[in-house]
Each structure stands twice: as C-alpha cells, then as structure tokens.
C-alpha cells in the first residue's frame, strides 16, 4: 500500500522552514501532497493559484521533490485528505508555543476523521524562528529576505508589497 501524506498550510508564502519540513516528509512517505488552504474569510497576500505556482517553482527540478504534488482546497482539511486517499497530515512544530494550537487542531481532525493521523515534524534548528508573517513584515519594510524564502518568493512578495 502506498502511504500518502498531506502537508497542509496557508503557505502565504512558502518559506525555507516549510521546504525543510517538506523534504523531511518525502523521506517518510511514498507521496506527499502539499495543499494550500484557501480561506475566503482570511485575508492573504497571495491568491491560492499564486501560492500553488510559487511552491511549484520552488520544487521544480529538485530530485527529492519528484513524489510531491501541489494543490489547493477550500473547506475541511480532513475531507480533502480523504478524497485524496491520504491518511496522514503533516504539520511542522517549530517551538513549544506552536504545540498548543497544533495539538487542538490534531485532536479536532482526529474527532472528525478517526482514520486520519497527524504527524509532527521538527524543522532544522536554523529554521525554527521563521514564519510567513515575519517574512511579510520584513518584505513590507523592504528588508533582506534571502535567508527566509527562496528567490522567486522574495521577488513576488516584494512586488506585491509595492502595490500595497
């Protein structure tokens, strides 16, 4: 049986921390589906299509990414996971402060879909403080994004900020 995992998130935008988790996940599962949550109630800098395109660009040509798919969804994550035959959700936990929220979310998802489990992965130490919201703040003030996000993401984000 092929073991398919879903790596969900807002990815607004994808960071080096997300990519580190994703790479680790590819070592554990046959197929990993990165899925961008599009929540019309939550404001995002990038549209769902833009976030998917940026992620695909980041993965293009990478040998370790050959079993990764990228898509987007609206609605409940567990429904999307079940539709795609994925019985594992991957979440990155950077520090203890992430844990409470992640624990509640994992238990909620488990209640909704008992056959779907959440696996937590830790990023490399050098990425433990990176978050998409900090990245957006740095971009807003035109700061150096090179150690936070890949070049294509930095370029698109700075362009977005020009029009804000």
Q: Are 119 and 5 in contact (CB under 8 A)?
A: yes
Mark the segment that binds ligand PNS (CB under 6 A) among 7-15, 45-53, 141-149, 153-161: 7-15
**Residue 87 or 108 having the CB closest to ligand PNS:** 108
| Structure tokens that stand for 60 in this block | 């293009």
Mark the segment that binds ligand PNS (CB under 6 A) among 59-67, 105-113, 121-129, 133-141: 105-113
**Residue 66 or 101 having the CB closest to ligand PNS:** 101
3-state class of 98 per DSSP? helix
Q: Give the shortest CB-63-to-ligand PNS separation in angstroms.
A: 26
> Which of 38, 77, 116, 130 contacts ligand PNS by CB under 6 A?
77
Binders in 28-67 for ligand PNS, by CB under 6 A: 37
**Residue 40 or 61 having the CB closest to ligand PNS:** 40
Q: Cβ neighbours of residue 34 under 8 Å, at least 6 residues apart?
A: 7, 9, 11, 22, 55, 68, 69, 70, 71
**DSSP per-residue string spanning 142-158:** T---TTTS-HHHHHHHH
């Amino acid at each position: 049986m092929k073991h398919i995992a879903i790596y969900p998130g807002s990815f607004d935008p994808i960071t080096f921390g997300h990519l580190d988790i994703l790479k680790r996940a590819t070592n554990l599962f046959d197929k990993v589906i990165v899925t961008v949550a599009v929540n019309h109630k939550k404001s995002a800098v990038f549209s769902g299509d833009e976030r998917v395109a940026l992620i695909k660009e980041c993965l293009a040509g990478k040998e370790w990414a050959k079993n990764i798919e990228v898509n987007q969804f609206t609605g409940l994550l567990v429904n999307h996971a079940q539709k795609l035959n994925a019985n594992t959700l991957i979440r990155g936990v950077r520090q203890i402060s992430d844990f409470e929220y992640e624990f509640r979310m994992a238990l909620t998802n488990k209640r909704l879909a008992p056959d779907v489990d959440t696996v937590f992965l830790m990023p490399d130490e050098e990425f433990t403080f990176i978050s998409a919201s900090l990245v957006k703040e740095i971009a807003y003030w035109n700061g150096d994004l090179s150690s936070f996000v890949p070049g294509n993401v930095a370029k698109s984000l700075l362009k977005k900020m020009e029009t804000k």
